[in-house]
């Protein structure tokens, strides 16, 4: 067996062992057996809330354990084929199995990265806000392009999107948008996307075809679980109602159903207009406020646990994190990790994995040093 192939095998074995340690394989297996027994009991669904939580835990453990088992089985199969091919002198079989190992090593790396999503809120759904920067139509069009980019990325991962609020631009694009993203580890994957995104292109709105630079900001924060207590006092809130704008039908535009809540001590503002019911919009906005305050507390803890300079400039609001250049050349570059991609159109169509994974790995690495 070639030294390079042996190194791949050892790398995959090391990753599997790390995953087993991270999951706590034996304990997780015992817990899964216990949950399977519980779910088979006749009165299991009498308490819906407890049953649903147990099923979520059961499904999570099954995914984690099956992932490890799958990696182990696929590696064993590939190694067996290599040994068989070498015994029989069939180089085609050996080459095919070695290629399978290369692909499996890449998958193992991804699984190892996913295992790092173990922060307090990483497993939660999240809210994504996008705001156009200064610059009128140019910036508003860029904000809409960013919203589409993240929507396409979410679709590729099977995440569910729910529009919470959208404020249309005067001529094109959007001034702001808030989306709720539902899916496994949604916040964990997207939390490093908060920051300012810069676009350089020939403006389609400039009759002189000049190059323009536009900015838009993204902000990601976790949906708060119901069992997490966030204290909010009425005296700290200002609640405004206003008429919803944009898509939504005639009725939504004729009533003051949209809600804006300002948390006075922090000056955090949230708003919701996705429902015709003012009551439901108010409830959604209040949940968003709880989420923002929770995210703020998580950030304080993270900053306190990190070195003075570690991570702060990477994720802070108002800091530029990525440049998207469409003219005079095609390039998207993350300014925190230096990851670059020449296929700017592909990135804007949702091909974000390389950037997301690199920034997540860098952030986790900074926290561990």
The whole-angstrom separation of Cα 333 and Cα 351 is 13
Lowest-confidence region among 111-115, 205-209, 238-242: 111-115
At 247 the three-state DSSP class reads: coil
> In the chain, what is the straight-line distance between the N-terminal and C-terminal CA atoms, in Å?
37
Where do we find the tokens 């099923």?
55
Instruction: Tell me the per-residue pLDDT of 295-322, one tens digit each, with 9 for 90 and over.
Output: 888 777 666 544 433 333 333 334 689 9
Neighbour-count burial of 135, counting CB atoms closer than 10 A to its CB (0-12 exposed, 13-18 middle, 19+ buried): middle
The whole-angstrom separation of Cα 62 and Cα 341 is 35
Averaged pLDDT for residues 215-243: 84
Lowest-confidence region among 61-70, 315-324, 347-356: 315-324
The angle formed by the CA atoms of residues 149, 170 and 260, to the nearest 5 degrees, is 80
For 180, residues 6+ apart whose C-beta sits below 8 A from its C-beta are 125, 126, 127, 128, 161, 162, 164, 223
Q: Please, are residues 287 and 232 in contact by the beta-carbon 8 Å criterion?
A: no
The whole-angstrom separation of Cα 278 and Cα 291 is 20
Angle between helices 91-115 and 3-23 (to 10 degrees): 30
Domains of the chain, first to last: 3-115 (1.20.58.410), 126-223+306-368 (3.30.70.1660), 234-294 (3.30.160.20)
The whole-angstrom separation of Cα 253 and Cα 242 is 10
Among residues 272, 259, 170, 178, which one has the least CA distance to residue 218?
178
Instruction: Tell me the per-residue pLDDT of 148-201, one tens digit each, with 9 for 90 and over.
Output: 999 999 999 999 999 998 999 888 999 999 999 999 889 999 999 999 999 999
pTM of the model as a whole: 0.65
The whole-angstrom separation of Cα 183 and Cα 175 is 26
Q: Are strands 195-202 and 174-182 parallel, antiparallel or unpaired?
A: unpaired
Instruction: Tell me the per-residue pLDDT of 259-300, one tens digit each, with 9 for 90 and over.
Output: 999 999 999 999 888 777 888 888 888 888 988 888 888 777
**pLDDT, position 318:** 45
The whole-angstrom separation of Cα 113 and Cα 109 is 6
């Amino acid at each position: 067996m070639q030294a390079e192939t042996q190194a791949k095998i050892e790398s995959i074995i090391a990753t599997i062992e790390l995953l087993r340690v991270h999951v706590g394989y034996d304990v997780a297996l015992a817990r899964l057996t216990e949950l399977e027994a519980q779910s088979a009991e006749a009165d299991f669904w009498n308490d819906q809330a407890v049953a649903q939580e147990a099923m979520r835990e059961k499904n999570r453990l099954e995914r984690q354990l099956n992932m490890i088992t799958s990696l182990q089985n696929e590696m064993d199969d590939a190694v067996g084929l290599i040994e068989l091919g070498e015994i029989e002198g069939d180089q085609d079989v050996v080459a095919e199995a070695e290629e399978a190992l290369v692909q499996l090593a890449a998958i193992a790396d991804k699984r190892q990265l996913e295992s790092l999503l173990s922060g307090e809120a990483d497993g939660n759904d999240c809210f994504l806000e996008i705001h156009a920067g200064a610059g009128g139509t140019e910036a508003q069009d860029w904000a809409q392009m960013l919203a589409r980019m993240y929507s396409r990325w979410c679709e590729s991962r099977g995440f569910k999107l729910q529009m919470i609020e959208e404020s249309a631009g005067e001529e094109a694009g959007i001034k702001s948008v808030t989306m709720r993203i539902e899916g496994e580890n949604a916040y964990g994957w997207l939390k490093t996307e908060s920051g300012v995104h810069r676009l350089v292109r020939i403006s389609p709105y400039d009759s002189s075809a000049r190059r323009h630079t536009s900015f838009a900001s993204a902000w990601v924060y976790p949906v708060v679980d119901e069992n997490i207590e966030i204290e909010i006092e009425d005296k700290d809130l200002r609640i405004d109602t206003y008429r919803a704008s944009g898509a939504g039908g005639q009725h939504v535009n004729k009533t003051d159903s949209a809600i804006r809540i300002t948390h006075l001590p922090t000056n955090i503002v949230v708003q919701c207009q996705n429902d015709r019911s003012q009551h439901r919009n108010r409830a959604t906005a209040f949940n968003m406020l709880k989420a923002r305050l929770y995210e703020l507390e998580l950030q304080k803890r993270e900053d306190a646990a990190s070195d003075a300079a570690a991570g702060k400039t990477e994720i802070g609001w108002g800091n530029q994190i990525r440049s998207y250049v469409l003219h005079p050349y095609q390039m998207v570059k993350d300014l925190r990790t230096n990851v670059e991609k020449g296929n700017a159109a592909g990135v804007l169509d949702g091909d974000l994995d390389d950037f997301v994974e690199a920034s997540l790995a860098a952030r986790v690495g900074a926290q561990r040093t």
